[in-house]
Amino acid sequence: MRAYERFVSYVKIHTASSADTNTTPSTYRQFDLSRRLAKEMRAIGMEDVYEDEYAYVYGVVPASPGMEGKPCVGFIAHIDTVPEFSGANVKPQFVENYDGGDVALGSSGRVLSAEKFPHLRSLQGHTLITTDGTTVLGADDKAGVAEILAACERLIAEEIPHGRVAVCFTPDEEVGHGAALLDIDRLGADFAFTVDGGELWELNYETFNAAAAHWDITGLSVHPGSAKDTMINASLVAMEINSMLPAGEIPARTEGYEGFFHLTNMDGAVEKAELDYIIRDHSAALYEARVGSMVHIEKLINAKYGPGTAKLSIHEQYRNMAEKLKNSMGIVELAKRAIQNAGLEPRLIPIRGGTDGAQLTYRGLLCPNIGTGGYCCHGPYEHISVENMDLAVEIILNIVGELCRR
């Protein structure tokens, strides 16, 4: 079965995660896909297939005869979709022999515009898979899931020589949890790759250092007619806090290796206000400085308005995996050769975000990222092509093949 055939069946299964629960998986519906994947893995001949109580699914393609001594490579993808935009009732739309122009997304009124998304011209002649404009597509990361399984099926069915290949599909990547409970010993890989997002020529081993920051602001509400020198308006204090951060260091004004503060939510009245931020930087030193800036602002606000006015809590989410991978670049070179052997010129791109691989790398399993060939994730303009998915499968097989030649 080709990767796209698996993919279009997976995207119809609603698996959006949630940041508002304290369970793993964060939404029970993720089991709907994890259970199906376990069944399919057994059906294609994978061994040691195991689905745990947290919706992680593991499986192995045993080594070919004579290849038992080769390194074991892992491939990892996540089953959840982003919670911020609907992943329910996904209706994939096919555009055969795409002409490189605009594509109407169903009857939604939204248009996949070649002017807004110039990369579309490179997909001319492909068969596009898009949304109908009302949901995400789910290529992030059900495309990775489908591509990994399509590659495993070919290894087994076509008896392609290979070392041991270990696979894990994870829940809750979109809410920052994905790899937290992955059993590295059960996976049994010497190193691994996440297959998640991005161009096919894109290879990622650098991520942000990342933290989440939450502010609780307590005001003092009195009658506005007698408020002079007494009232503390929590909403205005929240605005003041935000104004103390550099206005140009936000996602909309940064790129490449430039970090940012991103205000993700604000809620307020006179008595109470809340702010939520994510803090990001590739540089460990600049990341620490950004966290320090937040802590300093808390000190200044409480000195101005009184102790306890502002309470800041910071939760570290992940670290830049380049700090660990820079001493093991042979894994990156392996992937570069696999991409080149697929007829593409690999490019090392820093991820302006994080992957399951960032957590896993810091837990001891080195894990850079390769692309799925998908575009415009996390919204209604998400799309991928049948041909890109086939090429992603080829890159996965090339990685396995490269290890056989070691």
pLDDT in tens, 192-205: 999 997 899 999 99
Q: Indicate if the alpha-carbon torsion angle 112, 115, 120, 121 is positive or negative.
A: positive
The string of pLDDT tens digits covering residues 7-55 is 999 999 999 999 889 899 999 999 999 999 999 999 999 999 999 999 9
Cβ atoms 19, 83 nearer than 8 A: yes
What does each C-alpha distance from 140 to 135, 348, 383 come to in angstroms?
13, 20, 10
Q: Hey, what are 266's tokens? A: 């604000």
Q: Give the domain-ending residue among 317, 337, 359.
A: 317
User: What distance in Å separates the CA atoms of residue 15 and residue 135, rounded to the nearest whole number?
Assistant: 12
What pLDDT is recorded for position 318? 87
User: What distance in Å separates the CA atoms of residue 276 and residue 297, rounded to the nearest whole number?
Assistant: 14
Q: Are both 355 and 330 inside the same structural domain?
A: yes
pTM of the model: 0.89
What pLDDT is recorded for position 354? 79
Tokens 């080769």 correspond to 70
User: What distance in Å separates the CA atoms of residue 168 and residue 145, rounded to the nearest whole number?
Assistant: 9
Q: What percent of the chain has pLDDT over 70?
A: 100
User: What distance in Å separates the CA atoms of residue 137 and residue 377, rounded to the nearest whole number?
Assistant: 8
Q: Are both 28 and 168 inside the same structural domain?
A: yes
Q: Are both 176 and 224 inside the same structural domain?
A: no
Q: Are both 57 and 71 inside the same structural domain?
A: yes
What pLDDT is recorded for position 353? 82
In the chain, the number of structural domains is 2
Judge whether residue 406 has pLDDT over 90: no
What pLDDT is recorded for position 277? 97
Judge whether residue 186 has pLDDT over 80: yes
CATH of the domain at 230: 3.30.70.360
The string of pLDDT tens digits covering residues 113-165 is 999 999 999 999 999 999 999 999 999 999 999 999 999 999 999 999 999 99
Q: Are both 201 and 216 inside the same structural domain?
A: no
What pLDDT is recorded for position 249? 98
Comparison of pLDDT for 165 and 328, the residue scoring more: 165
Q: Are both 14 and 140 inside the same structural domain?
A: yes
What value does the mean pLDDT of the chain take?
96
Domain with 266, as residue range(s), is 210-317
Residue 275: φ, ψ to 5°: -135, 140
What pLDDT is recorded for position 75? 98
Q: Give the domain-ending residue among 317, 352, 378.
A: 317
What pLDDT is recorded for position 293? 98
Q: Closest by alpha carbon to 360, among 331, 382, 338?
A: 331
Using the CB atoms, write b or e for 322-338: b if 16+ within 10 Å: bebbeeeeebbebbbeb
What pLDDT is recorded for position 178? 64
The string of pLDDT tens digits covering residues 223-280 is 999 999 999 999 999 999 999 999 999 999 999 999 999 999 999 999 999 999 999 9
Q: Are both 39 and 16 inside the same structural domain?
A: yes
Q: Give the domain-ending residue among 317, 337, 369.
A: 317
Q: Closest by alpha carbon to 233, among 218, 247, 248, 244?
A: 218
Cβ atoms 25, 31 nearer than 8 A: yes
User: What distance in Å separates the CA atoms of residue 328 and residue 280, rounded to the nearest whole number?
Assistant: 24
User: What distance in Å separates the CA atoms of residue 18 and residue 25, rounded to the nearest whole number?
Assistant: 9
Q: Are both 155 and 298 inside the same structural domain?
A: no
Q: Are both 235 and 176 inside the same structural domain?
A: no
Partners of 271 in the β-ladder: none
Cβ atoms 226, 254 nearer than 8 A: no
Q: Closest by alpha carbon to 192, among 167, 171, 173, 155?
A: 167
Tokens 């940012």 correspond to 260
Q: Are both 99 and 147 inside the same structural domain?
A: yes
CATH of the domain at 123: 3.40.630.10
Q: Are both 146 and 159 inside the same structural domain?
A: yes
The string of pLDDT tens digits covering residues 89-106 is 999 999 999 999 999 999
Q: Which residues are catalytic?
A: 80, 173
Phi-psi region of 215 (alpha: psi -120 to 50; beta: other; left: phi over 0): beta
Q: Are both 97 and 165 inside the same structural domain?
A: yes
Give CA angle at 251 (192, 365), nearest 5°. 15
The three-class DSSP label of residue 305 is: helix
